[in-house]
Amino acid sequence: METPAAFARLELPGHPALQVRAGQTVLEALRGARVNLGQPVIAIVNGQTVDLTYQLQADDVVRLVPQIAGG
Amino acid sequence: MTIVGKTLRSQPDAGRRAYTGQILRVNLSTGALWVDRPDDAFYRTHLGGRGVILHYLLSALPAHADPLGPENVLIFAPGPLTGTSLPGSGRHAVGGKSPLTGGLGSSEAGGWWGAELKKAGFDAIVIEGRAAEGPVYLWIKDGAVEIRDARPYWGQLTGPTQAALREELGDCKIRVAQIGPAGENLVRYACVMHDVGRAAGRSGLGAVMGSKHLKAIAVRGTGPVPLADETQMSETLHWILGGYKEMMGWAIARGTEGAVKFSHDTGATGVRNYLDAALPGIEQLDGDNLFSFLVKRRDTCHRCPVQCKPVADYESDTLKIDGQYGGPEYETVGAFGPLCGVNDPLAVVKANELCAAYGLDTISTGGTLAFAMESVEAGDLAGYESLPRFGDGASLIENIHRIARREGLGDLLAEGSARLAERLGPAAQDRLAVARGQEFPLHDPRLKNVLALGYALSPTGADHMHNLNDTFATFPGSDICARLKEMGNTAPLPLFGLAPEKLQALVYETAFKHVLDSALVCHFYPYEYRHIAAALSAAGGWDLTPNEVHAIGLHITNEARRFLLREGFTHADDRLSARAYHKLSSGPIAGKALTPEELETGMQAYFKLMGWDENGVPPQSE
């Protein structure tokens, strides 16, 4: 019997949130979604800042936060 | 007004190039004025800005000189690109030996002053000595130079001083570099202000200017800044002017104020002297809120279409914020907001205005006050009036006045957090957030680990400008990744840690930023090596390749290190203070921080990449 697919929630700046498959990295999920964010982002997963190579787990809530240069 | 020194008249003769071939020399002790005329090879090697600053610090400043003594050398240096058609080139550098760190003092400012100096016929001003008879200012107009009496302006805030100088000299287009009372009072992190609102903020160069009794440099220039080869510039101009609206949309939208909440949420900013993970009410300090009622218009720099500078204007029955002083950048909001636990936007923006009026570096002012606030909670500063307290905007404002005037506790705070910690005893070292005695910028080293290593090694003390910003290097589409790929480096890079490819990236980015600070170009523009190589070639009539541009940057990295070592620093001084290793128990960077051992291992790997020995000593020749 096939295991039901697990998903994570991706919250993007300036775009609607997406449901993406768990098991891939944040960067892979972004590439798959074909969303042009227009600026560098960093990921916060369940309240912790993580690398974009973080492998998504089922029910993760991923907030992608734009990076802006300091001045 | 009396002319108190000698006068000089000198015209550029470099031909059709974007440098003038003239560097103005000033000895305030004797009143002597003269001009150095370097050859083309000098400009091709040193460019301008930090490259020229290091040349004069290594050749004209006696080793181990007192930073606040007459022998220190204060240098104002635009670059070969300043004043040209390249967007983002409206900048110049200020340098000297830092009274805060004892190392390299080097800081850049945007605005209009640097381009005006080039139009007036000079590539740099090198100032030594001290005006013994009282405060003076320099007046430079189209190759003519005078040393004039500044006694009526001593003690004045920057806004009134600029207005009075323009009135005295009869020209509202005069551009003014100056110090406020903080520089006059030798606050160790006093800055040099330009056009009132633009600071060469870091390193305490305003105190160096104050120690020389030099209140201001007023400049008016009407000459051209011609390119040697217009066609070499055209491709870069076409690229940036066609794409800046998309590539720099963040700057057009909210400037760096748009970063406040995002940076806070990722753990990049530092909260309550790096003790907490979050500031309740942070959204009140973010660009969206500040723009809704405080930011009334935008300002820009010479030849910049982006207009990223917010101008804050506000008036109520109890508070006035004067728009002539501009508005706060991200670093300033972070320093007076989260770092001091203050979420009141009016207090934070007023603090910015006061720092511009007094001439104080907002990063070190905020960092020193945050350190003091924690020290107050520890009971270490009992007995002083108006103690600064976390979350208390009124005490923040009151203590900025006291720092600039060196009143009461302000006299201690004016020395910076590292000297204050020495005075308070060993326990205070645990709450210190500095490298080489300079307060951390608002980029937390516990999140940004290569940047942390860059803080420890920086010749200027903790500095986020000539450094690698880890969080940008993780995203494949960032300008940092584009430059790293251009030079054959791995990109994107892992976020945490000090992996070898990240240290190699630090070598590249530090060198590139030194080039930008010498050329001189704004770091916000997403230029790559090929663009800077073409622009510099267009300016100087050269044929620079991207690899040659990198080699110039490496040379400046080495020269800055040689200057530090000459001034007595050793590898033992390449370190971060205790707060960089303090792990938080919650929040976005919970449990994150390098260890001192990891930092040392990373530094040894960096030394090898640079060709330095295990003590961080560069080879005698490159």
A1 touches chain B (CB under 8 A): no
Instruction: State how far the Cα of B136 lies from the Cα of B148, in Å rounded to an integer.
Output: 5
Worst-scoring range by mean pLDDT, B203-217, B284-298, B431-445, B450-464? B284-298
Is A71 a residue whose pLDDT tops 60? no
Nearest to B38 by CA among B27, B47, B28: B47
pLDDT value for B5: 66
Question: What pLDDT is attached to residue A2?
Answer: 62
- Which of the residue ranges B3-12, B459-468, B545-554 would you say has the lowest mean pLDDT? B3-12
CB contacts < 8 A, A to B, total 91
Closest CA to B439 of B402, B387, B403, B401: B403
Cross-chain CB nearest to B256 (options A44, A63, A70): A70
The pLDDT value given to residue B6: 72
pLDDT tens per residue across span B598-618:
999 999 999 999 999 999 999
Rounded (5°) CA angle B106-B110-B112: 120
The residue with tokens 């309240």 is A47
Q: What is the b/e burial string over B585-622, where b = at least 16 CB atoms within 10 angstroms of the residue's CB?
A: eebbbeebbbeeebbbebbebbbeebebeeebebeeee
Nearest to B250 by CA among A52, A11, A14: A14
pLDDT computed for residue B9 by the predictor: 86
pLDDT digits (tens, 9 = 90+) for B97-146: 999 999 999 999 999 999 999 999 999 999 999 999 999 999 999 999 99
B208 close to B74: Cβ distance less than 8 angstroms: yes
Instruction: Note whether ipTM > 0.85 here.
Output: yes
Q: Is there a contact between B535 and B549 (Cβ–Cβ < 8 Å)?
A: no
Residues 6+ away with beta carbon under 8 Å from B427: B378, B380
Q: What is chain B's mean pLDDT, rounded?
A: 96
Residue B11 has what pLDDT? 80
Q: Does A35 touch chain B (CB under 8 A)?
A: no
Q: Are A71 and B492 a contacting pair at CB < 8 A?
A: no
For residue B1, pLDDT beyond 60:
no
Q: How many C-beta atoms lie closer than 10 Å to residue B58's C-beta?
A: 14
Contact B255 A44 (CB under 8 A): no
CB contact under 8 A, B246 and A38: yes
DSSP-derived letter for residue A59 is T
- Kindly tell me if the per-residue pLDDT of B166 is higher than 90: yes
Parallel, antiparallel or unpaired: strands B104-110 and B91-97: antiparallel
Q: How confident is the model at residue B455 (pLDDT cuts 50, 70, 90)?
A: very high
- Pairing, β A48-50 against β B74-78: unpaired
* Residue A70 scores a pLDDT above 70: no
Dihedral sign from CA coordinates of A12, A18, A19, A24: negative
Per DSSP, helices labelled H in B129-283 are 158-169, 181-184, 205-211, 230-247, 249-254, 260-266
Whether B294 and B321 have beta carbons less than 8 Å apart is answered as yes
Contact B498, B506 (CB under 8 A): no
Q: How many CB atoms lie within 10 A of CB B151?
A: 15
User: Is the model's pLDDT at A1 over the cut of 80?
Assistant: no
Contacts of B265 in chain A (CB under 8 A): 44, 63, 65
Residue B500 has pLDDT above 70, yes or no: yes
Scanning every residue of chain B, which has its alpha carbon at the shortest distance from the alpha carbon of A66? B262
Rounded Cα distance between B217 and B521, Å, is 22
pLDDT at B65 over 70: yes
In whole angstroms, what is the distance from residue B9 CA to residue B47 CA?
24
In chain B the first and final C-alpha atoms are separated, in Å, by 50
pLDDT, one tens digit per residue, over B542-595 is 999 999 999 999 999 999 999 999 999 999 999 999 999 999 999 999 999 999
Q: How much helix, strand and coil, in percent to the nearest 5, is found in chain A?
A: 10, 35, 55
Q: What is the mean pLDDT of residues B231-240?
A: 94
Confidence of residue A15 (pLDDT cuts 50, 70, 90): confident
Q: Which of A42, A63, A64 to mutate to test the interface with B (most CBs of B within 10 A)?
A: A42
